[in-house]
Amino acid sequence: MSPEVRAMLAQGIEETGLEVDEDGDDEADTAAEGDGYSRSVYAMSMYPRGLPTHQVESPYENGHDSATIDSARTLYAEDFDFVVEHGRQYCGDYFLPIDQTEQTRQYVIHQVFLKVFDLELTTVPLENPRYILDIGTGIGEWAIGMAEKYPQCEVFGTDIAPIQPTHQVPFNIEFHIENAEEEWIRPANTVDLVHFRNMEGAFSKWPFVYSQAFACLKPGGWIEVVDWEDLFADRNYLSFFPEGSAPRILINAVLEAAALAGKPHDSRHLLGGDMLMKAGFVDVQETVYDLGIGSRENSSYGKFWLFSIVTGIEALCLRLLTKYLGWDADEVRDLCDKVARETRMVADDPARVDSFVIKLRVVVARKPTVPGQWSARTLNESAEVTGYNSGDESTIGGRTIRSEETA
């Protein structure tokens, strides 16, 4: 872990309950892992760096026929479509890198989510869940947390890259290598919760992905989608930069490149819940959070969030702009550095009055308890639902949109 991240995590250790390895000695970490030394599962030092093999243990049985679940297997790194471009490692055609630098950044983002949601991992009400599915699990932090919280539940995390930890994790979790845009190998009507987080720009076929989630959910089961509301394209961020500025140039280029890649960077898969309703879901609810950028904006998580943004600009842009727009890698990096500096200047500006935020949207919905049920809803001028009726006995009301005040 970099000294900057270690210092940030150490500063917030008392508030978050995280444990941070102070000496940075990987050999000591490995020895400690072998002698039964107990540390917080959320400590970065609990997880080793990428290993040459990705071991998936035998599935934890809870009554499901193991033959109907994707089989356990050992996966080897050389079996995957890894590629190094301009010094960053990627998997397949995914635009974000999967190297250790990006994994560390994703870990920091996970801490931001924990802060935003008051240490809760999901916004949906779960009662004794038996089967949870995390799509695009990444480093697996969310899935591991859910497996710890619900020890009698099977938790499956799927991704296209084997970058998740494979030991010192809860016994009731498995990580599978799967492409969510291909047919899901999951038993129908069994899953309590299908979870997506930070998947903007990952899929070209969101309706297909939602249909697959609907099929494997049990009646009354939940889907939860947590994603950015157009990320940097949100007016709250861009309003601080004039036309022709580095941030606007970079963002427009990224949007153009993503469109050429066939996986647009937008929030159409979230807004209004239309795709979810077309897939058959009911009781669609939306909540919008303002994530303040920098400690001046939010004393709780602002510094973590600012770090995640400025260190992630290159990760977001490098492959898209070099591969689809033909930009030179050094030119991309120079522009990314300029955007990062300007972002930090705005975040730290003591004279700034307006809120410097990026919006996060959380959308949840249910599979109806009786096939064929549907939701009728109309929106008033305040974007509030009126005349909402799910057709069953759900106690959940209509869609709510709220914007959390920044500290």
Residue 11: the pLDDT is 54
30 with 114, same domain? Answer: no
Judgement on whether residues 62 and 23 belong to the same structural domain of the protein: no
Residues 75 and 17 in one domain: no
> Do residues 163 and 128 share a domain?
yes
pLDDT for 343 = 95
Residue 399 is assigned to a structural domain of this protein: no
Alpha-carbon gap, residue 42 to 12, rounded angstroms: 13
17 & 61 share domain: no
The predicted pLDDT at position 165 comes to: 86
Output the pLDDT for position 232. Answer: 67
The tokens for 169 are 């994790």
Q: 282: Cβ–Cβ under 8 A, 6 or more apart, which residues?
A: 365, 366, 367, 368, 373, 374, 375, 390, 391, 392, 394
Structural domains of the chain, count: 2
Contact (Cβ atoms closer than 8 angstroms) between residue 173 and residue 155: yes
Residue-wise pLDDT tens digits, 57-83: 333 333 333 322 333 333 444 566 789
Q: What parts of the chain have a pLDDT lower than 50?
A: 1-2, 5, 9, 13-77, 375-407
Q: Do 241 and 182 share a structural domain?
A: yes
Do 105 and 195 belong to one domain?
A: yes
Domain assignment of residue 202, yes or no: yes
Asked, for residue 389, whether it belongs to a domain, the answer is: no
3-state secondary structure the chain: CCHHHHHHHHHCHHHHCCCCCCCCCHHHHHHHHHCCCCCCCCCHHHCCCCCCEEECCCCCCCCCCHHHCCCCCEEEHHHCCEEEECCEEEECCCCCCCCHHHHHHHHHHHHHHHHHCCCCCCCCCCCCCCEEEEECCCCCHHHHHHHHHCCCCEEEEEECCCCCCCCCCCCCEEEEECCCCCCCCCCCCCEEEEEEECCCCCCCCHHHHHHHHHHHEEEEEEEEEEEECCHHHCHHHHCCCCCCCHHHHHHHHHHHHHHHHCCCCCCCCCHHHHHHHHCCCEEEEEEEEEEECCCCCCCCCHHHHHHHHHHHHHHHHHHHHHHHCCCCHHHHHHHHHHHHHHHHHHHHCCCCCCCCEEEEEEEEEECCCCCCCCCEEEECCCCCEEEEECCCCCCCCCCCCCECCCC
Pair of tokens at residue 359: 């919006």
Residues 85 and 3 placed together within one structural domain of the fold: no
* 42 plus 142 within the same structural domain: no
**Final residue in a domain of this structure, among 312, 334, 349:** 349
Same domain assignment for residues 28 and 5: yes
What pLDDT does residue 14 have?
Answer: 44
Same domain flag for 339 and 208: yes
In a domain, 276, yes or no: no
pLDDT (0 to 100) of residue 213: 97
- Same domain? For 129 and 4 the reply is no
Q: Is residue 297 part of a domain?
A: no
The model carries a pTM of: 0.76
Instruction: For 169-211, write each residue's pLDDT tens digit.
Output: 899 999 999 999 999 989 999 999 999 999 999 999 999 999 9
Residue 16 lies in a domain: yes
Please report the pLDDT score of residue 323 as a whole number. Answer: 96
Residue 272 counted as domain residue:
no
Q: Are strands 82-85 and 88-91 parallel, antiparallel or unpaired?
A: antiparallel
Q: What is the pLDDT of residue 18?
A: 40
**Cα distance between residue 379 and residue 377, in whole Å:** 7
Parent domain of 253? 53-262+304-349
Examine residue 195 and state whether it is found in any structural domain, yes or no: yes
Report how far residue 66's alpha carbon sits from residue 262's, in angstroms, rounded to the nearest whole number: 36
d(CA 286, CA 6): 34
10 Å CB burial of residue 249 (0-12, 13-18, 19+) is: middle
Euclidean distance between CA atoms 360 and 343, whole angstroms: 18
Report the CATH number at residue 231. 3.40.50.150
